[in-house]
Structure formats: C-alpha cells, structure tokens
Amino acid sequence: MKVDIKEYAPGSESAWCPGCGNFGILRSVNKALVGLGLHPHQVLLVSGIGQSGKMPHYTTANVFNGLHGRPMPAAIGAKMANRELNVLVISGDGDGYGEGGNHFMHAMNRNPDLTYLVHNNQVYGLTKGQVSPTTDAGVTSKLNPEGAFHALRPLAVAVACDCSFVARGFAGEIDHLAQLIEQGVRHKGFALIEVLQPCVSFNKKNTYEWYQDRVYKLGETKYDPTDSAAAFQKALEWGDRIPIGVIYKHEREIFEDYVGVSQQTPLVRQSIDPLAVEKLFEAFT
Amino acid sequence: MVVDLNILIGGEAGQGVQSIGSVVARTMLRGGYEIFADQDFESRIRGGHSFTRVRVSGHPVASAIDPIDILVALNAETVEIHRKDLQPGGVIIYDGAKTGLKPQNSIIALDIPLETIAADTSGNVLMSNTVAAAATLGLLGYSFDVLADVLRQEYGRHGVKMVDDNIKAGQAGYDFGTVNRPAGFQLRLKEGKPSGKMLVTGHEALALGVLAAGCKFVAGYPMTPTTPILEFLASRGREFGLHVIQAEDEISAANMVVGAAYAGVRAMTGTSGGGFCLMVEALSLAGMTETPMVVVLGQRSGPSTGLPTRTEQGDLLFALHAGQGEFPRAILAPVDAEGAFWAAVKAFNLAEKYQTPVLIMTDHDLGNSSYLMTKPDLSKVVIDRGDILSDEEAEKAEDYRRYAFTKAGISPRAFPGQGKALVVADSDEHNERGHIVEAGEERVKMMDKRMRKNTGLAKEIEGPTIRRRENAKLNLIGWGSTAGAIAEAGGILETMGVNASVVQFNELWPFPAEAVTKVLGGANKNIVIENNYTGQLEKLIRSETGIAADARIHKYDGRAFTAEYIVNALKEEGLL
C-alpha cells in the first residue's frame, strides 16, 4: 500500500518558534519516510531533550522521547530488541554532541543500523541561547560573555570514528535533505546526518541568509565520498563555503550482525522457556 | 560428632586461592556435605593477600566462621595473618621450600613440596593447586575418587591430557597428605552420598534466575561485585536468546535497557553503587515512561570508590530515593542464593506487571559467596508479562493510548512495530497518548494514574521472614545478605539460654508496614543488625511504622558479619 503524506500528521501542537529551522527538517523527515514507503507504525523515532527532542511529537510514528543526551543508547536498546524496526534518532548539537558526546562516539564505532539526525543550530534553543559545542568561536551569550572558545567539528569526529555514513543537510533545502535522509535510512549501518538549522530566536549570526550564501551541494561537484582522507578534509570545511551532501560513505559490518542477533528471530519475538535452564544446573553439582 | 569444619586457603592474588577452594568445596559437596564458602580479595590482580574460606558442615550453613581447622598457606604472609584463628588441633599446609616457612614445635603442619610434586607428576607447575587441594583431602582421609570426579568435571573441557595430568598430580598430592599426615592432626571426614544440591554463588543463582525469567537483553558496564552476573549471562545467554552488551558507561547501559524494554523485551542491568549513581536518571525515566526495568544493585563499601572488593549495605536509602521526582518502584533484597534466583524471577514479573523499575539489592558478600541450594523447580517459574495487547489487538489499535487511564493505574502495553498501534513514550509529563502536556490538571491525572500502581504493587511484597522462639525477649532484625550470620547467632543464643526471634527482610519496598508492625510492635527488644554506619533499615522501619529500635549493631569494615561477631556485640551492648 502506497504511503500518503497525510499519514504523517502532527501528533500534537507545535511549541517551536515561528520560522524555526525545525519545521523544514520535519517536512524533510516526513517526505523521506513517504519516499521510503514506510508507514508510521513501521518507524520508531527516538529523541532526547532540546527543541529537536520535541520533533517526534509533531509527526506520526512510534516515539521514544527520552533523556537529554541519551536518545542513542535508548535507540540501540530498542534496535537490539527488534532489529526490524526502522529507527531514526533525532538529536541536536547540545543533546547529541554535548551531553551525549560519549554515546555519539561509541555508536559510530559500533555501527548499528540506524539513522542519526542531528539538528545543529549552533546554540542551546530550549534553555535560551547559551553556546553549544558547535557555536562559532567568539559568539557570546549571557552564560558565555567571553564568547564560545572553539567550535567542535563533529563531522570530522565522525570520519575519524570510521562512521559508515556521514552527511550534512540544510533546513532550508528540504528536498535535498529529504534525499539525504532516504539515503541514510537505506544505508546499512550507522548514518549520521547533521542538519544546519537556523535558530531565529537566539542565533543572530548563522541565519537562513548566512547559510544560503555559503552552502553548496557536494553532489554537484566531482567530490568522491568514499575517500576517507578527502572526507576528513571536507568535514573540516567551514566558513565562506560550507558543503552539504554525503561527505563519507562506506560499508562495514553492522553491530547486529556482529553480535549474532541477525541469525535469530528478533529478540522481541523469541519465546521464553524457563525449563530450558535445567541443563545449566549440572555444572554446579 | 557434628561436623563443622573451616578450611582457609590464603595467598597472593593470582596464586590459585580460588581454584583450590573451588575444588575442595565441590569435592565436599559430592560427599553430601553442606557448604558455605566466601571470598576475601583485594582490588588487584596479582600480589597482596587474598583468601577463600570453605566451611564444611553436617547441617545447613549460610555464613562464614572465624576458627580455622585447616590453613592452606600459599605464602608466609597467610600464616602470619591467620595463625591466630587456627583451632587447637588444626593444621597448616604449606610448601616450605617455596614459602620459606619453617616447622615450629607448637604448630601441627604438613610441609609439602607442591610445585615439585606437580612438576614431577604432570610436568606442569600450575597443577600445584590440584596437589594442594588433594593433600587437604588426603589429610582428612576423604575419598580420592570423589576428588577425581570433580577434576574430571572441572577440567573436562580442556581435554583428556589436562584431566589426566590433574588426576596424576592430585593422586600424588593426596598420597603425600595421607603418608605424611602429622601425628597431632585428628580430624577425619568421610564422604557420604551426594545431596544433589548445587553449589552456587549468590550472583550465579541470580543470573540463573534471570535466564529462567526470560530476560532477553542485558546492558552493563563492568563493576565489582556484579561483573560476574554480566559475564555469566554473556557466556550462557546466546543459547537462550539473551543478548548482553558491554556499554560505554553505566548511563548508556541503563538507557539501553529502557529502550529495549520499551521495544518489548525483558531487560536488565547490573552494577554497584558508583555505576548506579550514573543510572539514576534513567531509573526515573523508566518510572516516567512506565518502562519495566530491572536493576541489580550489588553493594560494596562506599562512599565513592570505597573498598572496591568489600561488602556493605550502605545503599538502601539511596536505592529507595534514587531518581528525580516520585514514581513507584519495588526493592527486593534476597538473603541467599536460592532467594537470589527467585528474586530475579519475581523482579521481572513485578517490573512488567506494574511497568516500573524494580531493584534487586545484593552485595559483595551475597554475590561472591557460595551457598548450597536445592535445584530450583523450574515448573514453578511463572512468567507474568502483565497487560500486553495481543498481536491481533495491536494490529487493530489505531487509536492506541499508551498511558490510558485505568482504575489500577496500569495501562495495557503495546510494542513499536507490533501492529498499527503507535507507541508514544515520553520523559516529559504527557497525556494518555504519550504527547507532552503542561496543564496542571492533566499532570495531576497522569501522576495519580502512575502512583495508583503502588496499591497493587504493595500487595505483592512479602513481609520479613520470621524465626520465632518461645519466650523470646529479643528480635534480631536484618536484611539481605546478613541472614546466615544472624540466623546462626540466634541459634548460638539459644544454646546460651537466651531466646531471640530472628526477623529477616528479603523484600523492602513498598514497605510491608503492616506485617512489620505486627512482628516488631510487641514487648521484645528490637535489635537492628546492619552492615552500614547509619542504620538505614532502622530508619526505614521507624519512618514507615513509627517503631524505633532498642539497640543496633553496625559493621562497616567491609567484611561480612559472623554469628560470633553478633553474639559478642550483643554482650558488649549489655543485651545478654
């Protein structure tokens, strides 16, 4: 049965600011899921806390909106319990790169088959404008009067962690982003898609116009996303020109296969048989 | 004569203390004896001083004793430290050439060249552990055949040569012990028929319970004393469809568990106090999202890193209050291996039935000590997964409400991907559909719904077990791992003409206030015995029942109680 975009109606009323970059990301996600032919009940959206964390509530799907910085481990747990679920993890620069930095690194290393969408607005939106790990150096906030010290380059971290799919989209390029999300979901392995997202309330520097003047599509250049050394360089490119598109891509064994869950029926459908434990008793006598 | 023999094997970490203890204990088990064995080791892999005690008895025992009958000293330090506990008529077994120990007139001893015998018989000095275990059994006149059976079982997986070499080394050690038995050593032990019971540590039994309960997902991070649970499950889990993940940290482990449980499997983690600190936010998440989560909290001495390989009961009130906000939880505190098995089974049932976190509190003493346990009757393991939509229902449930208001506060669960039902869970306060709400009235309704689960949950919790004695004037009260020592203290008091009832908690929350008031509300003096400094059970009893303790015995040196310690403490308190 063909999927209708209407299936992805908002689950509840939005609490985002008018003009928020999140609206563009949400439209891209819905579009991608339709493009993938997935019905809402086949999708699990796992999110953390922040403006990004609310996103799953504004569409229709299975949702686990957990703790700040912790959507990734919750998503891995769910995926291990039922590897047939299409899991998208929705996070932000504060949630995913700050609070959840450790999980970010280890998830990429493990390479579970899920898609990680990081809304990067370079600011803490929900707590009113503090700097985030990706805030450009020198940008100030009430809590950071000296300004952000040095911006983290998460995509370079991802390439260094041998993340099997690294991409960047822009909330102002909805179709392009939707295409990236589709590719990310189709990719067998961990797909990181960072989304450049203007924050109309707190980020006065990185506005729609600022991004529009700088972003360019890698797909329209001769860039080869399979070359890790080139990818590392590309991941660091920031300033007058900012690349969007697939930065790095390669196939490697996924976590579920490595740990053998793939050879079995999804854990959630396996039966429970207490009597089977009997055979372990002998070793203790 | 009533058999109650204490064998202590001591040496440096890495010398084989545990493997000698294990072989001796299992050989005694095969001869029908009751056993309790405990482990004392430092937080290091090599060197230092560690020991294991094997108590061999004609009657059930569940705690260690101090007086030693046979001291197997793998180094000189062991003799220095433990000589004071050697009973009159007891023997020291040592390798004089290796340890530099010299015979002394006042001490009965067997000087045995462990490594030489091992090398001569098997060409492998590592077999000296088997030589030591066999010499011990030879001294006691115990059957070598039983030992040989144990060696076959122990080393069978390493191949025929390994078994043969061990048996050759064992025979030589055994013969040496028999031939050179010191004249002063009178103890003899004859093997009887095997009881068929299992010799298991508390944590092994717990892990067996986890498998029987059908747990499918475990995420954890190594931490003493619960690592053996994770390792046991990792090694045996695959054949039961149980997947074990070593997470990057305890925060991740706990959130993975919540995610897996949300997706529909029974899921668990195990940790100690420090790791549990990191899991606390996820515990509250499980409370809010109404996700069944089982946590084994194996306590060790705190605060902070504390004594990493020692025992304590310092985390009870922490476990009770852990997590921001208020939500239902259950706390179980098994008292021995058998209790640990059944606590695991019950924990998963409670967690799923009430869709909330359940904690199993153990400690180093319970977890690492070996108990005898009758093979659990697996036909009695009930799997109660609570109210879950059938696949047919889930397929049709297009208007599914994960947090539907119900009288009991329990909303039927569905799992993502189970059918058309969309399962929306949120750590924010939410409506019946799981979406975020802010309004006060909606909050109150949902909070009331969650907390209503406490009514049912409270009915599931059992009061303390009570060993009443006629004309008792004292109640000896404890929780968890102290059960063996307190029960034995009660027995010793009886022989001294002081009757004391023993009241042991093995389930602590929701607090069984009514049952406790009944048993502790009388005229008896209530003495609360705890392996901590501040008296956490004592506070809990008082806050939940208004009953204050008349006296208290605390121990916080990182070591378990013994019956003797408790009796002496009662004397010092002037209670006898």
d(CA B426, CA B290): 9
Phi, then psi, of B42 in degrees rounded to 5: -90, 165
The chain A residue lying nearest B416, using CA atoms, is A62
Is cis: bond before B225, omega within 30 of 0?
yes
Query: Cβ contact (<8 Å) for B259 and A278?
Result: no
Tell me what the mean pLDDT of segment A34-54 comes to.
97
Does pLDDT of B238 surpass 90?
A: no
Query: Cβ contact (<8 Å) for A80 and B416?
Result: no
Query: Cβ contact (<8 Å) for A70 and B433?
Result: no
Query: Cβ contact (<8 Å) for B426 and A40?
Result: no
Q: How far A88 CA lies from chain B's nearest CA (Å)?
A: 13
Domain B465-573 grouped into CATH 3.40.50.920: yes
Tell me what the mean pLDDT of segment A105-111 comes to.
98
Q: How far A72 CA lies from chain B's nearest CA (Å)?
A: 8
For an interface test with A, the pick among B265, B348, B395 (most A C-beta atoms closer than 10 Å) comes out as: B265
Residue by residue, DSSP assigns B447-474 as: HHHHHHHHHHHHHH----EEE--TT--E
d(CA A132, CA A130): 7
Query: Cβ contact (<8 Å) for B433 and A11?
Result: yes
Q: What is the DSSP letter of A90?
A: E
d(CA B507, CA B335): 10
For a pLDDT cut of 90, what percent of chain B falls above it? 95
Give the other-Cβ count within 10 Å of A146's Cβ. 8
The per-residue pLDDT for range A151-168, each reduced to its tens digit, is 999 999 999 999 999 999
The per-residue pLDDT for range B267-316, each reduced to its tens digit, is 999 999 999 999 999 999 999 999 999 999 999 999 999 999 999 999 99
For an interface test with A, the pick among B427, B429, B431 (most A C-beta atoms closer than 10 Å) comes out as: B427
Cβ contacts (< 8 Å) between B212 and chain A: which residues? 274, 277
For an interface test with B, the pick among A52, A267, A275 (most B C-beta atoms closer than 10 Å) comes out as: A267
The chain A residue lying nearest B433, using CA atoms, is A11
Are B506 and B335 in contact by the 8 Å Cβ rule? The answer is yes
Same fold for the pair B4-195 and B465-573 = no
Which of A41, A70, A284 lies nearest to residue B255, judging by beta carbons? Answer: A70
Does pLDDT of B532 surpass 70?
A: yes
Q: For position A261, what pLDDT does the model report?
A: 74
Q: How many residues does chain A have?
A: 285
Query: Cβ contact (<8 Å) for B263 and A260?
Result: no
Q: For position B1, what pLDDT does the model report?
A: 53
Cβ contacts (< 8 Å) between A268 and chain B: which residues? 216, 263-265, 415, 417
d(CA A151, CA A132): 8
Query: Cβ contact (<8 Å) for B243 and A261?
Result: yes
Q: For position B105, what pLDDT does the model report?
A: 84
For an interface test with B, the pick among A49, A54, A63 (most B C-beta atoms closer than 10 Å) comes out as: A63
Rg (C-alpha) for chain A, rounded Å, is: 20
- Indicate the pLDDT class of residue A145, thresholds 50, 70 and 90: very high
Q: How far B478 CA lies from chain A's nearest CA (Å)?
A: 29
Cβ contacts (< 8 Å) between B247 and chain A: which residues? 73, 106
Q: Which long-range contacts (CB under 8 A, 24 or more apart) does B63-66 make?
A: B63/B36, B63/B484, B63/B485, B63/B487, B63/B488, B63/B560, B63/B561, B63/B562, B63/B563, B64/B6, B64/B36, B64/B38, B64/B369, B64/B560, B64/B562, B65/B4, B65/B6, B65/B562, B65/B563, B65/B564, B66/B6, B66/B562, B66/B564
How many degrees, rounded to 5, is the angle at CA B36 between CA B32 and CA B41?
A: 140
Q: How far A171 CA lies from chain B's nearest CA (Å)?
A: 24
Which of A42, A49, A268 lies nearest to residue B263, judging by beta carbons? Answer: A268
Is cis: bond before A40, omega within 30 of 0?
no
Query: Cβ contact (<8 Å) for A65 and B421?
Result: no
Tokens 């769910």 sit at which residue?
A: A78
Q: For position B45, what pLDDT does the model report?
A: 86
Tell me what the mean pLDDT of segment B516-539 comes to.
97
Are B309 and B226 in contact by the 8 Å Cβ rule? The answer is no
The chain B residue lying nearest A107, using CA atoms, is B248
The chain A residue lying nearest B381, using CA atoms, is A274
Query: Cβ contact (<8 Å) for B236 and A280?
Result: yes
Which of B422, B427, B435 lies nearest to residue A66, judging by beta carbons? Answer: B427
Q: For position B539, what pLDDT does the model report?
A: 98
Look up residue A76 and give its two tokens.
């891995």
Pick B200-379's CATH classification: 3.20.20.70, 2.60.40.2230, 3.40.50.2300, 3.40.50.970: 3.40.50.970
Cβ contacts (< 8 Å) between A44 and chain B: which residues? 263, 416-417
Q: For position A1, what pLDDT does the model report?
A: 73
Cβ contacts (< 8 Å) between A106 and chain B: which residues? 247-248, 252
Q: Is B407 exposed, middle or buried (0-12, 13-18, 19+ CB in 10 A)?
A: exposed
Query: Cβ contact (<8 Å) for A268 and B213?
Result: no
Name the CA dihedral angle for B431, A81, A49, B450, rounded to a multiple of 10 degrees.
30
Residue by residue, DSSP assigns B72-83 as: EESSHHHHHHHG
Cβ contacts (< 8 Å) between A284 and chain B: which residues? 198-200, 204
| Order of strands across the sheet that contains B474-479 | B465-467, B500-505, B474-479, B525-530, B551-554
Counting one residue from A and one from B, how many pairs have CB atoms under 8 Å apart? 203
d(CA A41, CA A31): 16
Q: Which residues are within 8 A (CB) of B517 and not within 5 positions of it... i.e. 6 or more apart? A: B545, B547
Query: Cβ contact (<8 Å) for B416 and A277?
Result: no
Tell me what the mean pLDDT of segment B170-197 comes to.
96
Q: What is the DSSP letter of B409?
A: S
Q: For position B217, what pLDDT does the model report?
A: 97
Are B95 and B125 in contact by the 8 Å Cβ rule? The answer is no
CA B110 to chain centre: 35
Look up residue B509 and give its two tokens.
């929350």
Query: Cβ contact (<8 Å) for A268 and B428?
Result: no
Does pLDDT of B108 surpass 70?
A: yes
Does pLDDT of B2 surpass 90?
A: no
The chain A residue lying nearest B150, using CA atoms, is A285
Q: For position B14, what pLDDT does the model report?
A: 87
pLDDT mean across residues, chain B: 96
Domain ranges across chain B: 4-195, 200-379, 391-460, 465-573
Which of A12, A41, A260 lies nearest to residue B436, judging by beta carbons? Answer: A12
The chain A residue lying nearest B401, using CA atoms, is A62
Q: For position A139, what pLDDT does the model report?
A: 95
- Indicate the pLDDT class of residue B381, thresholds 50, 70 and 90: very high
Q: Which residues are within 8 A (CB) of B139 and not within 5 positions of it... i.e. 6 or more apart? A: B70, B91, B93, B110, B177, B178, B181, B185, B187
Are B294 and B347 in contact by the 8 Å Cβ rule? The answer is yes
Strand partners, A116: A89, A192
Query: Cβ contact (<8 Å) for B200 and A284?
Result: yes
Q: How far A275 CA lies from chain B's nearest CA (Å)?
A: 5
Q: How far A270 CA lies from chain B's nearest CA (Å)?
A: 7
Phi, then psi, of B180 in degrees rounded to 5: -100, 20
Cβ contacts (< 8 Å) between A49 and chain B: which residues? 427
Tell me what the mean pLDDT of segment B453-477 comes to.
97
Strand partners, B111: B94
Q: For position A262, what pLDDT does the model report?
A: 64
Are B490 and B476 in contact by the 8 Å Cβ rule? The answer is yes
Among residues A173, A205, A199, A196, the alpha carbon closest in space to that of A20 is found at A199
Cβ contacts (< 8 Å) between A62 and chain B: which residues? 416-417, 422-424
Is cis: bond before B303, omega within 30 of 0?
yes
User: So what's the ipTM on this one?
Assistant: 0.98
* CATH code that applies to domain B4-195: 3.40.920.10
Look up residue B63 and give its two tokens.
């705690």
